[in-house]
Amino acid sequence: METGVKLFALSELRERDSVRFVLPDLRLEGFAVRVGEAVRAYVNVCPHRTQPVDVGDGRLWLPNGEIECQAHGARFDPLTGECRGGPCDGRPLTPLTIEERDGEVWLTSAVSEPHW
């Protein structure tokens, strides 16, 4: 029996793009990014002032490969969620535990302790 919640089809997520999705039970949004073959997903809430990091307008990615909150410019490592600069002030994104299954991406455990 499969456990978890299907979030999106892997084919929807292109490199230097993002996919946003609703997190069941939490009424929060998540977003996922792809770097090469690596897929990472985070709660779409910035640790600075709890606004969405990814607003879905295609401006998430910076030319240097970091991702940037569109509200006030906090910058994060897309592979780790670590704060790389700006008003996140060392606080990382909240990661989601995901798994790829036959071309689909699934949320496999509850959201960990939020960083906001």
* Residue linked to tokens 């940037």: 68
Which of 40, 48 has the CB closer to ligand FES? 48
Write down the least CB distance from residue 68 to ligand FES, Å.
Answer: 8
Write down the least CB distance from residue 19 to ligand FES, Å.
Answer: 19
Which of 4, 86 has the CB closer to ligand FES? 86
Which of 4, 87 has the CB closer to ligand FES? 87
Write down the least CB distance from residue 10 to ligand FES, Å.
Answer: 27
Q: Name the site residues for ligand FES (rule: CB under 6 A).
A: 46, 48-49, 51, 69, 71-74, 87
The contacts of residue 33 (CB under 8 Å, 6+ apart) are: 13, 17, 18, 39, 40, 41, 60, 67, 78
Which of 41, 74 has the CB closer to ligand FES? 74
Write down the least CB distance from residue 74 to ligand FES, Å.
Answer: 4
